[in-house]
Chains A and B, each alone.
Chain A
Amino acid sequence: MLRYISKRLLYMLMSLFLIVTATFFLMRAAPGGPFSSEKQVPPEIEKNLNEYYGLDRPWYIQYFDYLVSIAKWDFGPSFKYKGQTVNDLIDEGFPVSFFLGMESLLIAISVGILLGVIAALKHNKWQDYAAMVFAVLGISVPSFIMASILQYFLAIKLGWFPVARWESLQHTVLPALALAATPTAFIARLTRSSMLEVLSNDYIRTAKAKGLSQGQITVKHAIRNAILPVVTYLGPLSAQILTGSFVIEKIFGIPGLGSHFVTSITNRDYTTIMGVTVFYSILLLLSVLLVDIAYGFIDPRIKLAGGKKGE
């Protein structure tokens, strides 16, 4: 186990290095710079700015400096927000994105599994159809449309929640729901199909023959085995929810990190692009690792191979 994890960590470091390098060169290859604007700055001022940010130095020095500063977890000053460093942006934005992401994940996992289980247990009955109609809607309606629908009905028409902003727990409900809609539906479908498969297995019939109640069978035997595909999906999902919340953050005016992920590119805010990319890459790599480790806990048949097979 320990050997497996350390090996995986080593791979992670290598991937990270590749990501940093690729981002650095792709970014510099893009036309335009951080100071290009409608009102062009006079050349002498641009020269001062380039000097200040070290953009006048040769690329290999910039690249090397950058690697060193990343190793020290110092992403440098933001070009777009004077007086703020990229570390500030991450420190302030990430907890918000994380909170929103976790809230949506909790909704998606709990509601999704519940719906999937109900649909499987009530196979071909109205509960099944209702759950699947919901799932189809959730998958096919894009999150920004879902956001507008929620805003219109729950905030403006019914007045239950505020339209936007990030102030109290109440403010988090609509964005979390909008963000959770698609994964909820996806998880519901995954759970339903794997539950159906599991329920047709021999050991379920054995359990029934032993006289266990439907509830006991479902909780103890079926869900546990049916959940594996869901767990597989959780790794990329958590990364996707944490990084992909840009649209939701924009619509609801949420001060998360998602907006920096996108706007820093249009702004050619080099340091922020790099910082946020590195940060999210680590997050993605970690979440994939966690999911792999979680497999072993859920299904003991899956062994985490460290070196030799079957170790």
Chain B
Amino acid sequence: MKKRLSILFSLTLVLSLFLSACGGFQKGNESTGEKGKSGDKTADVPQELRINIKTEPFSLNPGLANDSVSSNVLNQTFEGLTRIKNGKPELAMAESYEVSKDLKTYTFKLRDAKWSNGDPVTAKDFEYAWKWALDPKNQSQYAYQLYYIKNGQAFNEGKAKAEDVGVKAIDDKTLQVTLENPTPYFLELTAFYTYFPVNSKIAQKNPKWYTNAGPDYTSNGPFKMVSWEHNNKIVLEKNENYWDAKNVKLTKIEMVMVNDTNTELSMFNNGELDWAGMPTGQLPPDSLPKLKEEGKLHVQPIAGTYWYKFNTEKPPLNNVNIRKALAYAINRKAIVENVTKGEQIPAMAAVPPTMFPENTKGYFKDNDVEKAKEYLKKGLQELGLKDVKDLPPITLSFNTDDQHAKIAQAIQDMWKKNLGIEVKLENAEWAVYIDKLHSGDYQIGRMGWLGDFNDPINFLELYRDKEGGNNDTNWENPKYKQLLIDSQKEKDPEKRKEMLKQAEAILMDEMPIAPIYFYTNTWVQKENLKGVEMSGLGDVQFKWAYFE
């Protein structure tokens, strides 16, 4: 028996030895060591920022990325022809540019800039990166962001050759871009990550250059990636080879991946993070009122709209007056104040105020129950119904999420109280839900849209074509469509804006969607952190950030 016991003990011993040698733990040791080494050498405040990016980025190859986590990293490590500052594109990799008279050809002169490994950034790096993303062989999900370039779409669909695409490196420092249409927001687009350059020398040699940190992962932005522990942490350091390095004060950015809102806030409160909340992370909704009360909460409106989509082919939502009645009878202010609590702006328009400032007011009155009742009466008449009780129950769908559920319950209640309409709620897991919406198997469904670039067209074009991928409402209006098509060719920005306004007015009159609120970013930060640049789209840049 003694022998057996000793076997058991030795097994335990072996197990514990094995455990202490285990990989996960050793990794931890390395990183703590790293922390110690790179500690504060100057007597000043350490310029090291710690933020949470929630999850592993989809991809840190600008041509493959299609999500906000990746963009929050790429915006620090890479740089396009322009960079957004104070809401406007300013020259970045480009030193100057010229536009042809028809606004279709841009010629960029590049500045003397280097990659993080010292290679020069050339026009060819841009040409390579854009054509790579457009190449159908390369599975870029965001290739369509480059469809503004001449033959971009055709090449991506296999109907044109790479040579036909309207981007050419004339020489090392000159990049010529030809567009399909005069695109007034093209300069803005060149700050978007799909338009970032890629070190073509390395990428051609090593097609997997972007999968790990290392000598092959080069970037041209203010920061370079020095370590990437998948699903755990990304460490960026100041890129000394960056052309504007003298204006970069942060020496290090540590991006951890913690996908729990409560933990994120606790880490901030415990001094383990310098920033918690959007746009890189998220705060628990329930904590917002308290943080606001304490004066810690930062709020910024961003280019995003939360709306309900009506399936205009499913009765009774095929009736415009019923749709209007439903949209008018929502008390948005109550939802924003009692449910979402993040100082969102009640939306009575589709395009966010970051693009049309006058849209804080919108096209109709919030919670206009009287008007709603009139529209309902009219709608019922048109449908040949005597009373609202004859209306079959309507199903309101949303994807599984606490906040969506609460909003849906509130609106269900408002429609019942204000109009007497019975509404059934139906929730589904995300992938199931999105499938139902895209296939038209719904009556009313929630959705949100966050702008990819700061132009109203990004919101309006969603409803241009009935068959358009993101429309879902089955609504199409010839006049609306024509206005948007014409606006693409309009060279006068004022006239163009007028056309887009007219289009939005049609959308808000026909109501294939009921806007609910405009999104905001909410976050807390160390008060001595300054110079963080947040664009109207809700992107964050730490290029100019510093600790006081």
A245 interface contact, C-beta 8 A: no
Q: Least Cβ distance of B292 to chain A in Å?
A: 21
The bracket for how many chain A residues form the interface is: 35 or more
Known: A48-B139, A171-B28, A255-B231. A156 touches B438 (CB 8 A): no
Enumerate chain A residues within 8 angstroms of B260, measured Cβ to Cβ: 164, 250-251, 253
Q: Which stretch, B265-273, B358-366, B525-533, B538-546, touches the partner chain A? A: B265-273
On whether the beta carbons of B136 and A48 are closer than 8 Å, the reply is yes
A83: which of B66, B210, B436, B469 is its contact (CB, 8 Å)? B210
Known: A45-B143, A84-B211. A165 touches B23 (CB 8 A): no
CA distance A265 to B126 in the complex (A): 37
B144 interface contact, C-beta 8 A: yes
Quick one: which of A162, A166, A251 has the most chain B CB within 10 A? A166
On whether the beta carbons of B61 and A82 are closer than 8 Å, the reply is yes
CA distance A45 to B157 in the complex (A): 8
CA distance A95 to B58 in the complex (A): 22
Enumerate chain B residues within 8 angstroms of A30, measured Cβ to Cβ: 431-432
Enumerate chain A residues within 8 angstroms of B418, measured Cβ to Cβ: none
Q: Which of A224-254 contact B (CB under 8 A)?
A: 224, 250-253
How does the 8 Å CB contact mask read for B420-458 relative to A, with 1 for contact and 0 for none? 000000000111101110100000000111001000000
Q: Least Cβ distance of B265 to chain A in Å?
A: 9
Known: A171-B28, A266-B429. A148 touches B141 (CB 8 A): no
How does the 8 Å CB contact mask read for B40-69 relative to A, with 1 for contact and 0 for none? 000000000000000010110100101000
Enumerate chain B residues within 8 angstroms of A35, measured Cβ to Cβ: 141
B189 interface contact, C-beta 8 A: no
CA distance A120 to B432 in the complex (A): 52
A192 interface contact, C-beta 8 A: no
Q: Which stretch, B110-118, B251-259, B507-515, touches the partner chain A? A: B251-259
28 contacts between A and B (CB under 8 A): A30-B432, A32-B431, A37-B66, A39-B452, A44-B136, A49-B141, A52-B139, A81-B56, A82-B64, A82-B210, A83-B59, A92-B231, A100-B24, A148-B262, A152-B266, A156-B270, A162-B272, A163-B270, A164-B258, A164-B260, A167-B32, A171-B28, A220-B1, A224-B5, A250-B259, A259-B259, A268-B431, A297-B8
Q: Least Cβ distance of B158 to chain A in Å?
A: 8
On whether the beta carbons of B432 and A31 are closer than 8 Å, the reply is yes
Name B's A-contacting residues (CB within 8 A). 1, 4-5, 7-8, 15-16, 19, 22-25, 27-29, 31-32, 56, 58-59, 61, 64, 66, 136-137, 139-141, 143-144, 156-157, 208, 210-211, 229-233, 256-260, 262-263, 266-267, 269-270, 272, 429-432, 434-436, 438, 447-449, 452, 469-470
Known: A93-B231, A253-B260, A255-B229. A38 touches B156 (CB 8 A): no
Known: A52-B139, A95-B24, A259-B231. A253 touches B429 (CB 8 A): no
A194 interface contact, C-beta 8 A: no
Q: Least Cβ distance of B275 to chain A in Å?
A: 15
CA distance A33 to B141 in the complex (A): 14
Enumerate chain B residues within 8 angstroms of A44, measured Cβ to Cβ: 136, 156-157
On whether the beta carbons of B259 and A255 are closer than 8 Å, the reply is no
Name A's B-contacting residues (CB within 8 A). 30-33, 35-45, 48-49, 52, 80-84, 88-89, 92-93, 95-96, 98-100, 102-103, 106, 148, 151-152, 155-156, 159, 162-169, 171-172, 220, 224, 250-253, 255-256, 259, 266-268, 297-298
On whether the beta carbons of A255 and B230 are closer than 8 Å, the reply is yes
B435: which of A32, A102, A164 is its contact (CB, 8 Å)? A32
Q: Least Cβ distance of A255 to chain B in Å?
A: 4
Enumerate chain B residues within 8 angstroms of A32, measured Cβ to Cβ: 430-432, 434-435
CA distance A155 to B269 in the complex (A): 11
Question: Could you list 5 further interchain pairs (A-B, Cβ under 8 angstroms) beyond the known A48-B156, A151-B263?
Answer: A44-B157, A93-B231, A99-B24, A165-B272, A267-B431
B143 nearest in chain A by CB position: A45
Enumerate chain B residues within 8 angstroms of A95, measured Cβ to Cβ: 22-24
On whether the beta carbons of B447 and A38 are closer than 8 Å, the reply is yes
CA distance A39 to B471 in the complex (A): 10
On whether the beta carbons of B229 and A266 are closer than 8 Å, the reply is no
On whether the beta carbons of A31 and B266 are closer than 8 Å, the reply is no
